[in-house]
């Protein structure tokens, strides 16, 4: 790498140094000190993405993201009620429940699954506006603000026009829009903290660099991999080898101590579940530590090489989605490859079909490295930014947006884009809102302090409570260590019935849920107090509604062919 590619800039004359005093750090980050194009792009991104998110949340279109939205909302709700990082919903995914058959616990600490203390930064905001929608607004706002910091970072190296194009590339990227249209997630903080860290490095704000490095580590246990790769870049590029060595040492030490000593204090999830599920080809046995996974990677070069390049078509499409909004420059930027080396290895070797999804949260972890790599490449090749490049770049931005829309990220566009064409599966907004009205009528009858079991897409709307699980589970362990069944069960079978034609997961859920409902109703463990439009409403105490029971029995006959 030459000096320019590693981020070097032309020497500043003594006259410039004397006549142009540097801006204070706070003025450098002012959001309105951006180009008009960036401001318009940011506003459009914030308004459109947030509108789609809120619409999907309120209209309850089923999504892969729904359950995690419920988990994070319950984590925040418990946190603002003096029980930080506890979640009965998260407990349903824990090792004791999944592997040992134990009951979900309301006092389960999620820090054993993911160590996310940075979420405490946003608890005061949630305390003021306690709603799942607050988290959606927070996520879109954080990712939008990250674009402003990216522009300031780009302007440190580039003229306004290429800096604007890079920032617009960030806002148009499928790998940014898709994860933002998912549920609220902890990794939405990564772009803001990482861009701020890069800017602090360029400005030589040592205190700010270590502040954002610390915040990045607090986002999640595996963000140490991102910081380690950044430190490796400082070393390889020789921009600041000593800072790079210190960064790598802190990141690696934090990752190892956290995953091997701290997180196991809360649960065994990282060793018995996550390491096994994600890195099984590299380990033996039914549990493994992060040290054992690292050793497995180092001692299995053949398997590692295969995982890095296969499946080639899917890997290439994933990388292309990252490169396209930046006119493919990150693909030829050595800086981008070094900055993302270790996060990419981690994603490529994961034995997980979701690792290379451009619409899920993991994609955000490598976006800052590709953006910064593009900035450094253009700073070394300013003459390449000509008129024909600008038109090609506009075309790439348009293609990125088109590909995003046609992929229907996290089914946020299901009210426009059919979920399937052959066979056709499409629920119009009018029909969906009519159905949601039925669900909301039943939800209104559930007291705020009652325990609940509900289907996935209903869970976020009922998750501001201590005791809640996802149906077909309906038992849990309370704060008094008592094993109880929940007070209310609210199940939406109609959604599953519509989508089971093309989604095998929905068909399997339907086959699991209906027999459980049969046993609960016929065994008089619960009373059917409401039924309408494929929505079943049960109460532990009460009287069965004869009209609702008859309607349920008629609908149950319709489901017979599906179940068979």
User: Which of helix, strand or coil describes residue 4?
Assistant: coil
Q: Indicate whether 205 belongs to any domain.
A: yes
Radius of gyration for the alpha carbons in the chain, expressed in angstroms and rounded: 25
Which residues are CB-contacts of 292 (< 8 A; sequence separation ≥ 6)? 275, 283
Statement to judge: residues 378 and 505 lie in one domain: no
Kindly give the residue spans of alpha helices, DSSP state H, lying in 324-357.
334-339, 341-349
Residue (of 489, 462, 458) closest to 473 by Cα position:
489
**Last residue in a domain, options 411, 432, 465:** 411
Judgement on whether residues 193 and 118 belong to the same structural domain of the protein:
yes
Query: Is-contact 563 514, C-beta < 8 A?
Result: yes
Q: For the segment 298-340, what is each residue's pLDDT rounded down to a tens digit?
A: 888 888 898 888 889 999 999 999 999 999 999 999 999 999 9
Whether residue 155 is contained in a domain is answered as: yes
433 and 491 both lie in a single domain: yes
pLDDT above 60 (res 7): no
CB of 452 within 8 A of CB of 444? Answer: no
pLDDT in tens, 98-142: 989 999 999 999 999 999 999 999 999 999 999 999 999 999 999
In a domain, 116, yes or no: yes
Our CA angle for 534, 537, 542, nearest 5°, is 150
Asked if 397 and 439 sit in the same domain, the reply is no
Instruction: Specify burial of residue 444 (Cβ count, 10 A radius: 0-12, 13-18, 19+).
Output: exposed
Q: What is the pLDDT of residue 337?
A: 97
pLDDT per residue as tens digits for the range 288-305: 888 889 998 988 888 889
Q: Which of 357, 389, 411 is the last residue of a domain?
A: 411
How far is Cα 110 from Cα 221, in angstroms, rounded to an integer? 12
More confident residue, 71 or 30: 71
Separation CA 503–CA 24 (nearest Å): 55
Tens digit of each residue's pLDDT (9 = 90 or more) over 243-302? 999 999 999 999 999 999 999 999 999 988 888 888 888 888 788 888 889 998 988 888
Integer angstrom CA distances of residue 60 from 12, 24, 56, 70, 449: 56, 46, 6, 12, 23
- Examine the domain organization and report whether 364 and 494 are in the same domain: no
CA dist., res. 403 & res. 343, Å (int)? 24
Judgement on whether residues 294 and 190 belong to the same structural domain of the protein:
yes
Q: How many CB atoms lie within 10 A of CB 387?
A: 7
| Whether 33 and 135 share a structural domain | yes
Q: What angle do CA 148, 411, 563 make, to 5 degrees?
A: 155
* 292 plus 394 within the same structural domain: yes
Assigned domain for 122 exists: yes
Does residue 318 lie in a domain region? yes
DSSP letter string, 68-101: HHHHHHHHHHHHTTT-TTB-HHHHTTSHHHHTT-
Region 190-206 average pLDDT: 97
In this structure, the chain runs to a length of 564
Mapping DSSP onto H, E and C, the string for 378-421 reads HHHCHHHCCHHHHHHHHHHHHHHHHHHHHCCHHHCCCCCCCCEE
Domain presence at residue 3: no
Average pLDDT of 5-14? Answer: 40
Question: Cβ(538)–Cβ(526) under 8 Å?
Answer: yes
Q: Are residues 363 and 300 in the same domain?
A: yes
Q: Quote the domain boundaries for residue 545.
A: 424-447+487-563
pLDDT of residue 15: 35
pLDDT at 16 over 50: no
Total domain count, the chain:
2
Give the contacts of 47 (CB within 8 A, at least 6 positions apart): none
User: Does the pLDDT at position 2 exceed 60?
Assistant: no
Q: What would the mean pLDDT of 218-232 be, rounded to a whole number?
A: 97
393-427 core/surface letters (b: 16 or more CB in 10 A; e: else): beebbeebbebbeebbbbbbbbbeeebeeeeebeb
Would residue 418 count as lying in a domain? no
Under 8 Å between Cβ of 189 and 365? no
pLDDT digits over 499-554, tens only?
Answer: 998 888 889 999 999 999 999 999 888 999 999 999 999 999 889 999 999 999 99
324, 434: one domain? no
Distance from C-alpha of 452 to C-alpha of 446, rounded to nearest angstrom: 8
Q: Are 420 and 436 in contact (CB under 8 A)?
A: no
Q: Is 211 contained in some domain?
A: yes
Residues 432 and 308 both lie in one domain: no
Q: pLDDT (tens digit, 9 = 90+) per residue, 402-438?
A: 999 999 999 899 999 888 888 889 999 999 999 999 9
Please check whether residue 78 is in contact with residue 84, taking contact to mean a CB–CB distance below 8 angstroms.
Answer: yes
Listed in sequence order, the residues at least 6 apart from 38 whose beta carbon sits closer than 8 Å to its beta carbon are: 147, 148, 151, 164, 167, 168
> Looking at the structure, do residues 383 and 435 belong to the same domain, yes or no?
no
117: exposed, middle or buried (C-beta count within 10 Å: 0-12, 13-18, 19+)? middle
Cis peptide before 235 (omega within 30 of 0): no
Q: Residue 467 to residues 192, 237, 452, 458, 478: CA-CA distances in angstroms? A: 34, 52, 7, 15, 8
3-class secondary structure, 470: strand
């Amino acid at each position: 790498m030459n000096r320019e590619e590693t981020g070097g800039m032309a020497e500043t004359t003594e006259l410039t140094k004397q006549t142009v005093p540097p801006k204070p750090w706070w003025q450098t980050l002012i959001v309105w000190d951006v180009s008009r194009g960036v401001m318009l792009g940011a506003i459009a991104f914030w308004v459109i993405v947030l509108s789609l998110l809120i619409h999907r949340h309120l209209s309850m279109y089923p999504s892969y993201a729904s359950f995690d939205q419920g988990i994070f909302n319950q984590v925040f709700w418990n946190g603002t009620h003096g029980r930080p990082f506890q979640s009965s919903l998260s407990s349903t995914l824990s090792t004791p429940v999944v592997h040992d058959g134990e009951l979900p616990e309301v006092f389960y600490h999620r820090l054993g699954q993911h160590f996310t203390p940075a979420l405490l930064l946003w608890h005061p905001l949630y305390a003021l506006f306690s709603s799942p929608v607050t988290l959606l607004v927070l996520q879109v706002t954080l990712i939008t603000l990250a674009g402003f910091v990216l522009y300031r970072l780009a302007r440190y190296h580039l003229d306004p026009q290429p800096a604007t194009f890079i920032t617009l590339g960030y806002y148009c990227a499928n790998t940014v829009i898709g994860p933002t249209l998912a549920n609220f997630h902890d990794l939405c903080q990564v772009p803001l903290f990482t861009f701020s860290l890069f800017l602090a490095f360029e400005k030589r704000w040592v205190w700010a660099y270590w502040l954002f490095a610390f915040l990045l580590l607090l986002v999640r246990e595996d963000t140490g991999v991102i910081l380690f790769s950044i430190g490796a870049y400082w070393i390889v590029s020789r921009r600041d080898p000593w800072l790079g060595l210190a960064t790598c040492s802190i990141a690696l030490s934090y990752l190892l101590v956290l995953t091997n000593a701290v997180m196991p204090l809360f649960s065994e999830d990282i060793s018995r579940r996550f390491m096994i599920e994600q890195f099984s080809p590299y380990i033996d046995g039914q549990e493994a530590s992060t040290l054992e996974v690292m050793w497995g990677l180092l001692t299995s070069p053949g398997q590692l090489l295969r995982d890095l390049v296969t499946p080639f078509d899917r890997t290439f499409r994933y990388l292309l989605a990252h490169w396209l909004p930046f006119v493919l420059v990150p693909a030829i930027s050595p800086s981008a490859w070094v900055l993302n080396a270790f996060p990419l290895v981690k994603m490529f070797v994961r034995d997980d079909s979701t690792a290379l999804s451009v619409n899920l949260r993991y994609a955000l972890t490598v976006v800052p490295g590709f953006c910064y790599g593009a900035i450094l490449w253009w700073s070394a090749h300013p003459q390449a930014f000509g008129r024909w490049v600008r038109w090609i770049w506009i075309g790439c931005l348009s293609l990125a947006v088109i590909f995003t829309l046609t992929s229907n990220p996290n089914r946020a566009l299901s009210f426009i884009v059919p979920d399937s064409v052959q066979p056709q599966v499409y629920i119009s907004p009018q029909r969906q809102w009519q159905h949601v009205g039925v669900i909301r009528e039943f939800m209104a009858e559930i007291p705020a302090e009652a325990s609940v079991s509900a289907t996935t897409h209903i869970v976020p709307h009922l998750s501001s409570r201590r005791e809640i699980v996802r149906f077909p589970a309906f038992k849990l362990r309370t704060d008094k260590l008592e094993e109880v069944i929940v007070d209310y069960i609210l199940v939406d079978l109609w959604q599953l019935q519509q989508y089971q034609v093309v989604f095998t997961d929905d068909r399997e859920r339907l086959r699991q849920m209906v027999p459980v409902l049969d046993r609960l109703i016929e065994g008089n463990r619960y009373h059917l107090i409401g039924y309408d439009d494929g929505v079943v409403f049960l109460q532990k105490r009460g009287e069965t509604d004869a009209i609702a029971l008859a309607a349920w029995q008629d609908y149950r006959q319709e489901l017979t062919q599906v179940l068979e």
